[in-house]
Structure 1
Amino acid sequence: MVRFIVMLYFFICALLESFPSFAQEQWSLQQCMDYAVERNGSVALSRLDVDSKAIDIQMAKSERLPNLNGFSNISSNFGQSQDIFGNNARNDNFSSTLGVGSSLSLLNFGRIKNNISKSESLAKASKEDLELLKRNTRIQVAQSFLQVLLQQEIARLVDSSAMFSALQMQKIQKSTDLGVSPMSVLYEAKANHSRDVQKQASALQEIEKAMLALRHAMNLEDDRQIAIDTSLYLLKQLSLSPQEESQLSSHLWDEHPLIRKYQFLNDAMLADAKSIRANLYPSVDLSVNVGSFYFNNLTTGMGKLPFVNQLQNNFSQQVTLALNIPIYNRNAVKHNLQKNSNQILQNAEQLALNQQQFKQEMQSYLLNYRNFEKQLNLSNEALANTRLAFAISQKSFDAGKISIYDLNSSRANLLNAESEMIQVRYNLVFSKLLLMMMAKGDLTH
């Protein structure tokens, strides 16, 4: 009878979980990760940096275009001056210039082109930084999400244990009322039920703590209530074939954003080196100026030379080709090339270090996955034997062959075996998820 009631309890729980919750939204793991990525502050800052790098590209490309500047000035001079014959004379005057000037780089030995290439590579590296932050956010949310599922399953185990102890207490109460069982057995059954009720309260607290950690990882609004979707396909597909493991490992070297980031940084440094070397060669600039000027000798009287007439009569155009030949720049080019070379070496060393680190991490994750896979098989075997032992203990207690203390010890062993199996299963799921996230960055790829 007790076994039937326990089975009925699990059937009702499964039936209730099959209906959607109308009070709260059902969120899948992917939805939680996507929401967290959109709300994460570090991701938002990284997006702004990507936008800034895009502006740098536009600025570098704009260097190819001519500039256009207007100029104007007004000046006045008072006093006397001496000519070459020693004669002194007043030189009070008023002058003004007005015009438009433009300049364009005609020859710069690829400096502008390489600056554009450098800006584009830095922008790509910034995008990889953004992808890294997204990956870290997704992993953090996935870990919190699985922790909620784990605590919910443990709570269901505790609930079933509390229900069993309640039924056992009722059964012993009737037996005690009939004078068959002693009072000590009844008190022990009540104490066991009280402990199970306490475990229920602790289990609910663990669910609340895990849910709070998930809300924090998602940056969820305080007034928004959600319920997580427990139909996680990773819980159903735990095994990875050797071919899948090989694909994940090989995919890591081609697609991981941190590796691509340093490749782009290296490209940026190579383009920067070419841009620095361009300063060793002559450059040619074209400039065009169009304007006029006004001059009035104040000693002859203000206004005798009309302003507008002078501007019209003094209108002129000037075209200039400027050749700049570098001779000595205090070894600035040499020093900048040395710094550039050191930076390239640093990036290469950092890339090699990261590749080694990722290889070790993947080996560690694969080792953990295989170990948890073995542990799951062993824990399932141990759980099956513990269930058989508990079933025998229950029959023995009903037959009066063992005490309630032995029955409670057997029931505690069963609860521990079930909890250990669930913990190992979720450790296996998280190890698999880490492998997928490290290699692909998301579950949708």
Structure 2
Amino acid sequence: MAGKQLVILIAIFMLSLVNTVFAQKQWSLQECMDYAVQQNKNLALSKLDVENKSIDIEIAKREKLPTLNGFSNISSNFGQSQDIFGNNARNDNFSNSLGLSSSVSLLNFGRIKNNVIKAEALVNASKEDVELVQRNTRVQVLQAYLQVLLQKEMARLIDSSAIFSNLQLQKIQKSTDLGVTALSVLYEAKANYSRDVQKKAAAVQQIDKALLALKYAMNMEEDQEIQVDEKISLIEELLKTDDKYRSYSNMMWIDHPLIKKYQYLNESIIAENKIIRSSLYPSIDLSVNVGSFYFNNLTQGFGKLPYMEQIQNNFSQQVTLSLNVPIYNRNSVKYNLQRNKILIQQNAEQLALDKQQFSQEMQGYLLDYKNYEKQLVLSNEALDNTRLAFDISQKSFDAGKISIYDLNISRANLLNAESETIQVRYNMAFSKLLIELMATGDIRF
């Protein structure tokens, strides 16, 4: 009994160890994006659409092959009929035919070939849709991931402020106990510490909300635990000026899935145009029939003509060339060609519209990146000056030259300067990554 309890305890320990290790896993940005791509439902639907259209390619290719069908029918007739001389006679009979038939298209003016081209173009266009969904998914995860990092860094900043206010409170408490400092100063220090604790709780709430948004972007369940890699080195690396980001606006259309998608759609429409035109020309089909038949006049008695003997004697083969010449099709070809032309124009207009919107977004992000570069320099300068001002205020307060209210104002200014600098850093990092994602479809770091 003791041995079983020991085994159970060991098992529980191992499970808890596994859960601990799993819970401690830190997700990098690349891992989050890869996971989101794998779990995205819209992406799964797009991939199924590719598979579905790939079947159309196989169907179109096999139109070149001949068909093969077996046939058999049995019929029986009972009653009488009258000949041309007015004589009535019984016409009871039994018949059976069977055989194989095959047909193949010999001349169709490229209809089969262009059906294959059309199907392949539509599959390739669907693949580009998959890539567009992947890019959009990565952008959503990128934004949510950096928001988590931002909220965590803001929480650390508020936490350090709370630590400072707590130390300040302890220092003033001792001074008040000695009768050196007024009670109003002590109460103000306590109020400052309470405000910082409240801000810290609000910051934790913002982290939870950011993590929840990241889970949604990754298509994770709400009860799943996730910890992001909090290495600030990623942000610091992204803040380094890199001139290649300024050239993305010129190279972003190279192999871009949006361009390729409409190119493939146009290929399919052009192929459809040729398919429509092929119906204006004659087509030739070859058919081959092999079979036999059995006939028995029942008025002479069933079975007098052996079935297998007659089947063998009636064996025949037939080869047929069928020529189909279109003469009048109610102008369906004319109207289908008009519709085809309109589709090409619609694709061109839609592509131009999408390119315009995409280019405007890219130019906006490039402008944001340049502005954030300038803002970062200015905010760092302001932060350095604010720190110097706070150091002087701290020394002046310790020397009794300024009140705690003046010190709190100086400390609030420092906190605001640090917050603004952090926000600019993350905005700049996000713009940089977003530009690379929009231009290349992925990030490399």
TM-score interval, smaller chain: over 0.9
Larger deviation: 53-62 or 162-171?
53-62
Return the offset for 1:244: 3.8
Give 1:382's aligned residue. Answer: 382
Q: Distance in 2 between matches of 1:132 and 1:422?
A: 31
Return the offset for 1:237: 2.7
The letter for the 1-side match of 2:246 is: E
Q: Distance in 1 between matches of 2:339 and 2:162?
A: 70
Please state if 1:229 is matched with 2:229: yes
Give 1:305's aligned residue. Answer: 305
Return the offset for 1:223: 5.1
- Structure 1 pair 431–230 and aligned structure 2 pair: CA distance change class (3 A): same
Q: Is the 8 A contact 1:379 1:417 kept in 2?
A: yes
Return the offset for 1:32: 0.4
Q: Distance in 2 between matches of 1:358 and 1:60?
A: 35
3-state SS of paired residue (1:268): helix
Return the offset for 1:238: 2.1
Instruction: For structure 2, list consecutive stretches of 5 or more residues without a partner in the other structure.
Output: 1-19
Give 1:16's aligned residue. Answer: none
Return the offset for 1:304: 1.8
Instruction: For structure 1, list consecutive stretches of 5 or more residues without a partner in the other structure.
Output: 1-19
Residues 67-113 of structure 1: per-residue CA shift (max 9 Å, x gap): 11111111222222222222221212221211111110111111111
Q: Is the 8 A contact 1:256 1:438 kept in 2?
A: no
Q: Distance in 1 between matches of 2:244 and 2:252?
A: 14
Q: Is the 8 A contact 1:24 1:225 kept in 2?
A: no
Give 1:123's aligned residue. Answer: 123
Return the offset for 1:181: 0.3
Give 1:215's aligned residue. Answer: 215
Return the offset for 1:235: 3.6
Return the offset for 1:297: 1.6
Q: Distance in 2 between matches of 1:400 and 1:211?
A: 45
Give 1:193's aligned residue. Answer: 193
Residues 126-153 of structure 1: per-residue CA shift (max 9 Å, x gap): 0000001001111001100000000000
Give the aligned length: 425
3-state SS of paired residue (1:295): strand
Matches within 5 A, 1:46-65: 46-65=46-65
Q: Distance in 2 between matches of 1:76 and 1:388?
A: 112
Q: Distance in 2 between matches of 1:442 and 1:152?
A: 25
Matches within 5 A, 1:109-258: 109-222=109-222, 224-231=224-231, 233-246=234-247, 248-258=248-258
The letter for the 2-side match of 1:245 is: R
Q: Distance in 2 between matches of 1:74 and 1:421?
A: 91
Query: Structure 1 stretches (4+) deviating beyond 6 angstroms?
Result: none
**TM-score normalised over the length of structure 2:** 0.93
Q: Is the 8 A contact 2:235 2:426 kept in 1?
A: no
3-state SS of paired residue (2:253): helix
3-state SS of paired residue (1:293): strand
Q: Is the 8 A contact 1:255 1:439 kept in 2?
A: no
Please state if 1:271 is matched with 2:268: no
User: C-alpha root-mean-square deviation of aligned residues, in Å?
Assistant: 1.6
3-state SS of paired residue (1:84): coil
Q: Distance in 2 between matches of 1:27 and 1:107?
A: 60
The letter for the 1-side match of 2:135 is: R
Q: Is the 8 A contact 2:60 2:119 kept in 1?
A: yes
Identical counterparts, % of pairs: 70
Give 1:343's aligned residue. Answer: 343
Give 1:318's aligned residue. Answer: 318
Return the offset for 1:218: 0.8
3-state SS of paired residue (2:99): strand
Q: Distance in 2 between matches of 1:85 and 1:378?
A: 117
The letter for the 2-side match of 1:53 is: K
